[in-house]
Structure 1
Amino acid sequence: MTSLSVGPSAASRADLVRPPAGALRLADRVLSFGAASHVRACLLLLVIGLASFLPGLSTLQPMDRDEPRFAQASKQMLETGDLVDIRFQAEARHKKPVGIYWAQAAAVAAGEALGVPRARTQIGLYRIPSLLGALAAILLTYWAGLALLDRRWALLAAALFGACIMLSAEARLAKTDALLTACSVAAFGALARAWLGRARLERRRGPASLGTALVFWLGIALGILVKGPMVPLFAGLAALVLCLREGSARWLLDLRPRLGVLITLAVVAPWFLAIAWKSGGAFFGEAVGRDMLGKVGSGAEKHWGPPGAYALAFFATFWPGAAFAALAIPFAWARRGEEAVALLIAWIVPMWLIFEAVPTKLPHYVLPLLPAVAILTVLALSRGALDPRRPGARWVAGLVVLIPVGLTLGLSLAAWRLDHALPLAALPLLLAACALAALAWAAFARGAGQGAGEAALALGVAASVVLSGAVFGLTQPVLQSLKVSPRLAAIRDALPCEKPQVASLGLREPSLVFTVGTDLAMLNSGAEAAAFLREGGCRLVLVEDRFAAAFAAAEGGQPREAVGRLTGFNINGGKPVGVSAYAALPGATP
């Protein structure tokens, strides 16, 4: 009698990748707990989001250049009381609409009302709208997922999106993208209900409700106030593709377009009319002509990238879900005729191709597409399409381990080279994140079945939460070399006089304006720096090393003694930087 066998080597390999049963049971219990009710699901998602986003929210330095530009403009709104015009120092900042500035100014004003010391220079307060936007985006991804999946799978999709690196980063940055993503996924969830309900494809689902229509149009309107035409572009392009597929646009009537246009105009028209009057139309020329069309025509602000750059970056930006999302591509192609899959493809693919074609490449541009990617990944898993037995599947899934291992090694090396220190407090969590990522891979590789894939995604989410705390909560405080502007502000604060006038020669980062003050003077020569100190009163000039000789010559070859000096690393320039601080104090002789 003969028998077939896979051989001892195959059996031994299966044993090597078998994860501990306790980890699988725990992942199942957590998901089961969350899937028991919508309230539990939302609470679990909020816990995941807060655990991922809160570490480092207030201690991470202002990240040049975009973040402090937004924060400084919001601070100037509070300083001047002008809630219409947007300015960075004396320069008009006519790039984005006013939504994010209003949200940041409101958060800081609330902080002041609650007695937060020096609230206007606390970058963490300016990040609160982004934190809330990221949390809302996770919950709205769950809501959108419920249009296509049952509660457990929708919960898993929202958790997978909430754990992705790009959302974790944007939740900590005082910029537009987290709020934009929340508006975008709200529009997507409403569009999904209109599409799937157009012919009562499911007996339990009828046409989109009035509430769904309101969510759609509020997402559109608020999205316009946050970042102009982007949310209408996302939703409009997807709707166009679906209308062409359907051969009709009648299903869009469920979204009450007449009511929606009125709501949108009521929300956005007052400020747009006010800024048009105040700027004499210059806002639209700058925002559309230079900012938006400039990015379409060329690689604006030195952010050029070739087509395909987003696809390569995806394996980092959508970690820990990226490897599993890549495995879902064959499923999406094979099932593209299904209503749910067609919807997801219509939302993701056309805009992704546009982003790849546009010369300007920034990783966060594709963030509003990632909720749909997460839903598509879980949809593929729920259909049994993420099969580790497919050729190369285990190798692709193994990519989930690379990010935590790379960050552990890279951050340790960076801390040692820049600050001659190691993030010892973070190492246990960094290693734990690596171990959880390895367990996620092992859970997927152990064999076919939804349970294994489900556990793999859940363990990947856990790895991301732990990694976030390790990187942002415990590692970045060690990297003092990166905190150039806050350290220079501390030198200003240590002067034995109140409200010193400060100027900078060489260092022009927006974070310095935010931390030191709106009236920071930007100088162009050593002669200007020397003259600034001779004007009297309490003064401080910050001189970057490459201007040190010119400043010394302007001081007669014998510059005054520095009251402070620091060296660091300029993230934006990617270069080491050295700055010396010179002071002129009332009653002191130079």
Structure 2
Amino acid sequence: MISLGSGLDRLASFASASHRRACLLLVLLSLAAFLPGFAGLQPFDRDEPRFAQASKQMLETRDFVDIRFQDEARHKKPVGIYWLQAASVAAGEALGVPQARTTMWLYRLPSLIGAIATVLLTYWALLAFVGARLALLGGALMAACVLLGVEARFAKTDALLAACAVATMGALARAWLDWTRSLAFVPSRWNWLVFWSATALGLLLKGPIVPMVWGLAMIVLAIRERSLRWFAPLRPGLGLLLCLIVVLPWFVAIAIKTGGNFFAESVGKDMLAKVGEGQEKHWGPPGLYLLLFFGTYWPSAALAAMAIPFAWVKRREPQILFLLAWIVPSWIVFEAVPTKLPHYVLPLYPAITALLLLALVNGGINRFRRGADLTAFLIVAVPAALVGVLLYGTWTLDRTLPWLALPVLALALVVAFRSFLAYREGAFEGALWRGVVASLLLGAGVYGLAAPSLRGLKLSPRLAEAVQAVSCPNPEVMTVGYREPSLVFLVGTNLRMGADGSAAAAFLREPGCRVALVESRFLDGFRQGLAASGATPRLLTTIAGFNLNGGKRLEMSVYVRE
């Protein structure tokens, strides 16, 4: 009988024998990591449905220049992700997907593709630093990374942005290491095209983030080398021209359409506001990303932390210097900015993976260092804590447990413990591969089996189902007390937002088929308004659930006047 360790070792040897096999295995691992729950998870407030709704409105209005959420201009990010999501939904409609415009997984397809691309591009980038077998492991570790798994399932920019960042840094690494004679092969003559194409796409996705990452790294390396001649093979003149050709048409169009307001909003009120203060209640102190790192980069974080002494000792070597230039300046910027979200540092995780693998191959991980075993036990402690929170949440919200998920979650913890034991035996590569398997099992259990049972979190889908159950076609709908973007996305762009119960009562007095969704705090004012008008709408149903954004339980009454 083949043990788990020997089976994984044989698989790694077989797949790393050719780039085609390695890429095929990484695609399969990515699909196994990212597909559970991909189609079944409800729209996750608030950012995801905002992106999806704006993309849906592009299809509704056929305006592919301006970006809007209902009647409000959404001038925060460039247009790239909205175009990709709209194209994905249009393809779904052409292929006959029912109710394609409110089918969230269609909007998530660009993120899924971006996450898979991040895994494959990590493998490609790591080939500049390590051999094929370890580069394969690095790609697998990115597929197993908790944060990338989350972003693969969200219809936002960040999985694609990570792919763009790692593409530019893989190309930049080849130019730098070739200059310092640390590269074992000659970079492709198309290396410059990878670099600037990824930069252009990154600009259309999220403005200056990708250029910031490679720009800060380039400055550090230029200071170290006292020269920028090593950058010349990337053809900056031709590359900048390519970027202008790609991005300038939309930037000119949006400037003309909005009279320059897009740039005032996106740069002045979004980007600079994040630098000045914690925006949208996302403030965090410096050091928060380091604290979150052990959860967001699981299962690799513990061993990566042990590679820090190795990186410090070898910091002047060209490979390590490049990786530190990739990580440290951008990390400092993200820590200094008051607005903090976990996904901001995702573009830096492939570089941390490379440092971990270089420490692995050069004997740079010392398991006898004080505190090493305690750090390594996070391989078990992090998923155990996640499972505990999940079980507590399902029981608290819905008085049930995810019975189908329990065996899979238990097996994930067993494999995570086996990973810890392999580390104790000094089999670091085997420990990391076992961590990949544990992550696949954990994702299947959490996203694929447990999340669907969290009915209490699905307020918007259940309210949308209630609206669809109304006998009259195309009703007008107003919501009071619950204003989440997911409800707009699922119910319709014309969903009205009422200020109080009397507004809902007045809304139901108007002619036509109408539905009012009234939160329990506003029921008294709603009933008083009905009594004054003499209207008698029908109570269709009452839906209770938990709003994660507000952090409180809600009870919504659905009234209909047919």
TM-score normalized by structure 1?
0.94
Deviations 1:89-141 (A, max 9, x none): 00000000000000000000000000000000000100000000000000000
2:237 match: 258
| One of 143, 158, 161 as aligned partner of 1:162 | 143
User: For 1:131, which of 112, 122, 125 is the aligned residue?
Assistant: 112
Report the 3-state secondary structure (helix = DSSP H, G, I; strand = E; otherwise coil) of the residue aligned with 2:560. strand
- Equivalent-residue separation in structure 2 for 1:209 and 1:400 (angstroms): 38
1:350 aligns with 2:325: no
Report the equivalent of 2:9.
Answer: 28
CA contact (8 A) 1:408 1:427 kept: no
Q: CA deviation at 1:340?
A: 0.5
Amino acid at match of 1:142: Y
Partner residue, 2:82: 101
Please say if residues 72 and 514 of structure 1, whose CA atoms lie closer than 8 Å, have aligned partners that are also in contact: yes
What is residue 59 of structure 2 aligned with on the other side? Answer: 78
Q: What is the distance in 2 between the residues matched to 1:30 and 1:386?
A: 24
Indicate whether 1:482 and 2:457 are aligned: yes
Does 1:519 find its partner at 2:494?
A: yes
Range moving further from structure 2, 552-561 or 240-249: 552-561
Aligned twin of 1:307: 286
User: In structure 1, what is the equivalent of residue 475 of structure 2?
Assistant: 500
C-alpha displacement of 1:23: 2.1
Residue of structure 1 in register with 2:70 after alignment: 89
Q: Contact 2:508/2:537 (CA < 8 Å) preserved in 1? A: no
Question: Does the CA-based 8 Å contact 2:129-2:319 persist in structure 1?
Answer: yes
CA contact (8 A) 1:327 1:386 kept: yes
In the alignment, which residue of structure 1 is the partner of 2:524?
549
Cα separation, 2, equivalents of 1:572 and 1:60: 16
Specify the alignment match of 2:539 in structure 1.
562
Q: Residue 556 of structure 1 aligns to a residue in which SS? A: helix
CA spacing shift, 1:389–1:199, aligned 2, 3 Å: closer
Letter in 1 for 2:155: A
Decide which of 342, 346, 357 is 1:378's aligned counterpart: 357
Q: Deviations over 1:235-263 (max 9, x none)?
A: 10001001101111111111000110111
1:560, CA displacement in angstroms? 4.0
Distance 1:471 1:360 in 2: 28
Separation in 2, partners of 1:38, 1:543: 57
Alpha-carbon deviation of 1:24?
1.7
Q: CA deviation at 1:22?
A: 1.6
Indicate the SS of the match to 2:477: strand
Q: Distance in 1 between matches of 2:363 and 2:552?
A: 49
Helix, strand or coil: the match of 1:522?
strand
1:544–1:579 Cα contact (<8 Å) kept = yes
Summarize deviations over 1:451-496 as a string: whole Å, max 9, x none.
Answer: x100000000110011111100000000000000000000001111
Query: Tell me, which stretches of 5 or more residues in structure 1 are unaligned?
Result: 1-19, 586-590
1:112 pairs with one of 79, 93, 104 = 93
Amino acid at match of 2:129: L
Out of 375, 382, 385, the residue aligned to residue 396 of structure 1 is 375
- Once the two structures are superposed, what CA deviation does each residue of 1:281-307 show, in whole Å capped at 9, x if it has no partner? 000000000100000000000111111
Residue in structure 2 matching 1:57, options 13, 38, 41 = 38
Counterpart of 1:15? none
2:553 is aligned with what amino acid? P
**Aligned AA (2:254):** I
Q: Which residue number corresponds to residue 561 of structure 2?
A: 584
**Counterpart residue type for residue 139 of structure 1:** L
Deviations 1:278-335 (A, max 9, x none): 0000000000001000000000001111111000000000000110110010111010
Give the root-mean-square deviation of aligned CA atoms. Answer: 1.2
One-letter identity of the residue aligned with 2:386: L
Structure 1: distance between partners of 2:386 and 2:518: 34
**How far, CA to CA, are the matches of 2:472 and 2:381 in structure 1?**
51
Q: Provide the residue aligned with 1:205 in structure 2.
A: 185
SS in 1 for 2:553: strand
Partner of 1:223: 202
Q: Distance in 2 between matches of 1:554 and 1:462?
A: 58
SS in 2 for 1:563: strand
Alpha-carbon distance between aligned partners in 1 of 2:185 and 2:357, rounded to the nearest angstrom = 21
Distance 1:199 1:140 in 2: 22
The residue aligned with 2:226 is: 247
The offset of 1:201, in angstroms, is 3.2
Matched-pair contact (CA < 8 Å) for 2:380–2:417: yes
* Percent identical residues: 57
Q: Are the counterparts in 1 of residues 182 and 319 from structure 2 also a CA contact under 8 Å?
A: no
Query: 1:403-445 CA deviation, whole Å, 9 max, x = no partner?
Result: 2211222111111110111100000110011011101110010
Residue 193 of structure 1 pairs with residue 174 of structure 2: yes
C-alpha distance in structure 1 between counterparts of 2:418 and 2:29, whole Å: 19
Q: Which residue type is aligned with residue 120 of structure 1?
A: R
Aligned residue in 1 for 2:504: 529
CA deviations over 1:195-242 (Å, ceiling 9, x no partner): 00114334x434x44311000001100000000000000010001001
Cα distance in structure 1, aligned partners of 2:7 and 2:116: 24
Q: Partner of 2:510: helix, strand, or coil?
A: coil
**Equivalent pairs, count:** 560
> Do the aligned residues in 2 keep the contact of 1:536 with 1:584 (CA within 8 Å)?
no
Aligned 8 A contact 2:479 2:518 in 1:
yes
Which 10-residue stretch deviates more, 102-111 or 155-164? 155-164
Whole-Å Cα distance in 2 between the matches of residues 571 and 58 of structure 1?
20
Once the two structures are TM-superposed, the CA of residue 191 in structure 1 deviates from its matched residue by 0.4
Question: 1: CA distance between counterparts of 2:91 and 2:210?
Answer: 28
Helix, strand or coil at the partner of 1:567: strand
1:238 corresponds in structure 2 to 217
- Residues 538 and 561, structure 2, Cα contact 8 Å, conserved in 1: no
Letter in 1 for 2:466: I
Counterpart CA distance in 2 for 1:168 and 1:95 is 24
Matched, 1:317 2:296: yes
- Note if 1:418 corresponds to 2:418: no
Other-structure match for 1:144: 125
Aligned to 1:79, the other structure's residue is in SS state: helix
The DSSP-based 3-state class of the residue aligned with 2:60 is helix
Say if 1:433 and 1:463, in contact at 8 Å, map to a contact too.
Answer: yes
- Matches of 1:33 and 1:155 in 2, distance apart? 11
1:513 Cα offset (Å): 0.1
- Could you say which residue in structure 2 is the equivalent of 1:326? 305
Aligned to 1:297: 276
1:455 is aligned to 430
**Structure 2 alignment gaps of length 5 or more:** none
Secondary structure of the structure 2 residue equivalent to 1:488:
helix
Partner deviation per Cα, 1:28-85 (whole Å, 9 max, x = no partner): 1121122111011101111111001111111101110000000000000000000000
Amino acid at match of 1:551: F
